Amino acid sequence: MRGLVRRRTQEDEEESVFVTMTDMTISFLLIVMILLAFFATQLSSQDTVPRDQFNVILNDLREARADIRRLEAERDAAREALDAAISERNAAIEERDRLRAENADLLARIRELEALVDQLQRDLDAVTAERDDLLERLSRLQQINPLEAYLAQAIEQRREILIELRERLLIEFPDLQVVISAEQDALRFQGEGLFRSGSSQLEPRQRQIVDTMGRLLDEILVCFTLGDRANRGPDCDSGNALIEAVQIEGHTDADGSDLNNLRLSTDRANATLLVMLDEERTILAHENLRGQPVMSVSGYGEMRPIETNATTEGKAANRRIDLRIIMYAPSTVEEVEEIGRRLDALRAAGGSE
């Protein structure tokens, strides 16, 4: 601001000097005219001047007056030019001040925008870090856990086994009452499908059904078990899934005593397995990973109903044989790897042990 004041003062001084010189010239001429007038008054009437000299003085006076008018005109023009220059200067100063104020506003806005950019960059860095963390977690989640993959495969293989058994049985016995359990882990023969109420004896048609079921089951088990009957050849689409047990479960309704129902359900399960056994008892040759036969029986009496025993329909549903398939469920990745090595060796040997 002090520099601006100094510049303005210097400009004003230059303009003042120009005006002062003009005024001094005019004042000097005025003084000359006054002196000429004074000298004229001092001349007496008797004093005479030669006409040539008078004419020279008169011409000088006229020229002085003409110079005065010319100088006054130049002074007026100079003043007008000065006023115009001052106006232009003032306008330029106002424009400069306006531009300075606008520049200051722009600088302030730039600082605000720079602060906003810095904040947005920090926010972007935080979001980027969060995204990278989520991507890393997603990558870990997407990595297949061998144990989880094996268990999921085993569950799917069991479902496919049950579907295949049911469909093949219904081809030969279209009116057979057989369903897959809600848990997708057992074939369920309900009501009078295999046994009459209170009986553990199989009628000829029911024996044919059980015999067919044993034959179909024997064909399927070769791809999911170990032992002399195991076969992991190219026709087996079983992966590394292994069956731990195939359990024939007998169940009754609530009629009769608990002990009688328990005995009846066990007798029905045993009768079913015995019919499945052919002369060579091949179905018992299927073994689990521990070298035990996968086939087993159990009787639960009325202890595991699937419907209410208060209705005829509910009793018929509870009076059933379940063919439950239990898949081998390893607890560690190392067990999964050991199963893979053993089955790979079985395949390398031609598919059988």
Q: What is the pLDDT along the chain (353 residues), one digit of tens a residue?
A: 445 445 555 555 555 555 566 677 777 777 877 877 777 666 555 556 688 888 888 888 888 888 888 888 888 898 899 999 999 999 999 999 999 999 999 999 999 999 999 999 999 999 999 999 998 888 777 777 888 889 999 999 999 999 999 999 999 999 888 899 888 899 998 766 677 778 888 888 889 999 999 999 999 998 899 988 888 777 788 888 899 999 999 998 888 899 999 999 999 999 999 999 877 778 899 999 899 999 999 999 999 998 999 998 888 888 888 999 999 999 998 999 998 888 888 777 765 55
Any domain includes 41: no
What pairing do the DSSP bridges indicate for beta strands 320-327 and 295-299? unpaired
Answer yes or no: do 88 and 223 share one domain: no
Any domain includes 55: no
Any domain includes 50: no
Q: What is the CATH number of the domain that holds 312?
A: 3.30.1330.60
| Segments forming the whole domain that contains residue 93 | 83-122
Answer yes or no: do 304 and 179 share one domain: yes
Answer yes or no: do 232 and 320 share one domain: yes
Any domain includes 70: no
Q: How far apart are CA 147 and CA 153, in angstroms?
A: 10
Tally the domains of the chain.
Answer: 2
In what side-by-side order are the strands of the sheet with 178-180? 178-180, 186-190, 320-327, 243-251, 295-299
Number of neighbours of residue 232 by Cβ within 10 angstroms: 25
Any domain includes 315: yes
* Residue (of 160, 194, 122, 153) closest to 336 by Cα position: 153
Answer yes or no: do 91 and 168 share one domain: no
Q: How far apart are CA 168 and CA 220, in angstroms?
A: 12
Answer yes or no: do 193 and 97 share one domain: no
